[in-house]
Amino acid sequence: MNRARAVGLALLLSAAAASAQDAFPGRGRTVFLLVDTDYLLCAPCSAWLEDLARLLPPPARAAGLRVIVTYRDPEGEGAGGRRGQIARLQWRGFAGGRSLDLPVAFDDGRAFHELVTSGPAAWLLDFELGTVRKIPSPLRAGEVAEIAAFLLR
Amino acid sequence: MRRNARIIRTAVAALLAAAVPGGAQTAVRLEEVLSIGGPASEALFQWTGLATDDQGALYVLDAMDFAVKKFDARGRLLNKAGRRGQGPGEFTTPRWLAVDGENVYAVDQSVAGLLVFDRDLVYLKTIPLPGLVEAVEARPGGGLAVVVSAFDAPGRVLFLDPDGRTAGELRYREKREGFLLDTVSLALAPGGAVYLGFLFQDRIERWDLSAGRSWSRSLFGGKASETTNVRGFALPKDTFILDIAVDSLGRVYALGGKQARNRARDVFVLDASGALTAVLTLPQPSHCLHFDSRDFLYVRAEEGTALKKFRLVFD
């Protein structure tokens, strides 16, 4: 990804983050795992998320790992609407059934919707440098170490 | 949202007269009598399988929290069992349920067999079977019928006694028709007839154990599914019959898939001879249909977080 594109995307994501409550910690570098509710029953998708949560060292997780859950909301009702409630319920069931304890934010303003692709992905953002790197699922060799190093740098 | 809620509350089932070619048209209304779960509840997260017993209790498999749950006839949670894992009574991909006698039989998509619980949801044992289980139904006279997917023996319905011993077999296909093309849902009529709804083919079949196949019907003009190539496999893209069910009067209900006008909502009602008599439309998409012994219909709602029970009124 070239620098201009990365800066543009970082700005877009920065703006998007403002609309997702508690999506990012108050620092310049973060990793978010973008997950659509449609993926929650997809075995490879959930395995990717669980592997990341299990393999990342706790200090790296604590340093700025977040889950952002997107969902279909054609009527734009947001957090208080039926779709927003269902997304929260399904995430609670998903995380509870797998003992996943990750900070989560919901894309109630659909700011992240355009970033959703054919599977979940990790997005590595450095707002200060204006760099963005996307790591799509499934996990490949070295990617957990790369994410950990990014968060702990 | 208010509009959707009103539709759900009034539970209107539309008669699609145009979809009943040349036959007698019967209007069908749905009256909602029970709702379990929903966005504001934590009773169900994403339910998959459902069964009912003769006391009116409901047993529900939830794929999101890997549990089998028992509700009373008023929808109150009585018990819950299971967790994620591959040990006794644990699930990785819970799918279908059946109740026969004092036992509850659960299908996990990754297990070649049936997990057996008692009606209090105490795990008893796992009955091994020769392949993964696509469908399970309780037989009207006792025992079970299961569709087993085994590579070397496709197209088989096995009839099991309550202990899991094979008591008979129905071969509805002698060889594979194509990858996934023999995938079926299963329904058993009170008189013993076996109905098969094909997920990736426009086909419903009635089989009688003594006489073989009685009839085969298409609902969507006999259209063949398009395929998509995934890593060298030609996978069917179009779904036709998502599930099939039979009420106590022998009426056959087929839930239409992608090919239906209202995907996962249109239910085609056939009589025992295979004639289409009505089409009703569910308020919300479902993945399955289930009738209890009193002919109440149970379907999914709220994207799997709710379960609805309806009374069907034929005008």
Among A77, A92, A98, whose Cβ lies nearest the Cβ of B42? A92
pLDDT in tens, A27-44: 578 888 999 998 998 888
Question: Which value does ipTM take for this structure?
Answer: 0.81
Q: DSSP label at B292? A: -
**Where, residue-wise, is CATH 2.120.10.30 in chain B?**
45-182
Q: Considering only CB atoms, which chain A residues are within 8 Å of B63?
A: 41
What does the pLDDT average to over B175-179? 72
Instruction: Please say whether the beta carbons of B179 and B234 come within 8 A.
Output: yes
Q: Which residue carries 């991909």 as its tokens? A: B93
Amino acid sitting at position A131: T
Amino acid sitting at position B13: A
pLDDT in tens, B61-102: 999 999 999 999 999 999 999 999 999 999 999 999 999 999
Rounded distance between C-alpha atoms, residue B182 and residue B200, angstroms: 8
CATH 3.40.50.300 for the B45-182 domain, yes or no: no
Instruction: Please say whether the beta carbons of B266 and B220 come within 8 A.
Output: no
**Model confidence at A130, in pLDDT bands (50, 70, 90)?**
confident
**Model confidence at B2, in pLDDT bands (50, 70, 90)?**
very low
pLDDT of residue A11: 58
Q: Considering only CB atoms, which chain A residues are within 8 Å of B49?
A: none
Whether pLDDT at A66 is above 60: yes
**Mean pLDDT value across chain A:** 83
Whether pLDDT at A118 is above 90: no
Whether pLDDT at B292 is above 60: yes
Rounded distance between C-alpha atoms, residue B87 and residue B292, angstroms: 31
What 3-state class would DSSP assign to A32? Answer: strand
In this complex, is the C-beta atom of A38 within 8 Å of any C-beta atom belonging to chain B? no
Instruction: Please say whether the beta carbons of A133 and A1 come within 8 A.
Output: yes
Determine which helix (DSSP H) or strand (DSSP E) holds B188, and give its type and residue range: strand B184-188
pLDDT of residue A132: 84
Q: Considering only CB atoms, which chain A residues are within 8 Å of B40?
A: 85
In this complex, is the C-beta atom of A109 within 8 Å of any C-beta atom belonging to chain B? no
Taking an 8 Å cut-off on Cβ atoms, the answer to whether A41 and B66 are in contact is no
pLDDT of residue B4: 43
Q: Considering only CB atoms, which chain B residues are within 8 Å of A41?
A: 46, 63-64
Rounded distance between C-alpha atoms, residue B284 and residue B60, angstroms: 19
Tokens of B277: 């008599």
Tokens of A90: 């399904």
What does the pLDDT average to over B267-274? 96
Q: DSSP label at B190? A: T
What does the pLDDT average to over B47-62? 97
What 3-state class would DSSP assign to B141? Answer: coil
Tokens of B182: 């023999």
**Mean pLDDT value across chain B:** 90
Closest CA to B63 of B308, B288, B309, B292: B288
What does the pLDDT average to over B189-198? 94
Rounded distance between C-alpha atoms, residue B99 and residue A86, angstroms: 29
Centre a 10 Å sphere on the Cβ of residue A45 and count the other Cβ atoms it contains: 19
- For the ranges B55-59, B109-113, B202-206, B222-226, the lowest mean pLDDT is seen at B222-226
What does the pLDDT average to over A135-143? 92
pLDDT of residue B13: 41
Q: Give the Cα-Cα-Cα angle A92, B74, B58 (nearest 5 degrees).
A: 70
Parallel/antiparallel/unpaired status of strands B77-81 and A121-126 = unpaired
Determine which helix (DSSP H) or strand (DSSP E) holds B5, and give its type and residue range: helix B2-10
Closest CA to B280 of B260, B300, B294: B260
Closest CA to A70 of A25, A24, A22, A120: A120
pLDDT of residue A24: 56
Whether pLDDT at B267 is above 50: yes
Residues of B with CB under 8 A from a CB of A: 1, 4, 39-42, 45-46, 62-67, 83-84, 93, 302-305
Rounded distance between C-alpha atoms, residue B142 and residue B192, angstroms: 11
Give B150 or B147, the one with higher predicted confidence. Answer: B147
**Model confidence at B37, in pLDDT bands (50, 70, 90)?**
very high
Task: Assign a CATH topology to domain A3-132+140-152.
Answer: Glutaredoxin (3.40.30)
What 3-state class would DSSP assign to B249? Answer: coil
What does the pLDDT average to over A53-60? 91
Instruction: Please say whether the beta carbons of B48 and B69 come within 8 A.
Output: no
pLDDT in tens, A79-117: 889 999 999 999 999 999 999 988 999 999 888 888 887
The rounded percent of chain B whose pLDDT value lies above 70 is 92
Angle at which helices A143-152 and A43-55 pack, to 10 degrees? 50
Rounded distance between C-alpha atoms, residue B178 and residue B228, angstroms: 13
Among A77, A82, A90, whose Cβ lies nearest the Cβ of B64? A90
CA distance A86 to chain B (A): 5
pLDDT in tens, B117-141: 999 999 999 999 999 999 999 999 8
pLDDT of residue A131: 79
What does the pLDDT average to over B220-233? 84
- Spell out the domain ranges in chain A: 3-132+140-152
In this complex, is the C-beta atom of A81 within 8 Å of any C-beta atom belonging to chain B? yes
- CA distances to A128, B29, B169, B314 from B278, in Å: 63, 11, 32, 10
pLDDT of residue A117: 79
Interface residue of A46, A82, A89, A106 to substitute, partner B, most B CBs within 10 Å: A89
Q: Which residue carries 């036709």 as its tokens? A: B240
* Cis amide bond preceding A138, omega within 30: yes
pLDDT in tens, B149-175: 877 778 899 999 988 999 999 999 877
Whether pLDDT at A127 is above 90: no
Q: Considering only CB atoms, which chain A residues are within 8 Å of B303?
A: 86, 90
What 3-state class would DSSP assign to B170? Answer: strand
pLDDT of residue B83: 94
Give B272 or A132, the one with higher predicted confidence. Answer: B272
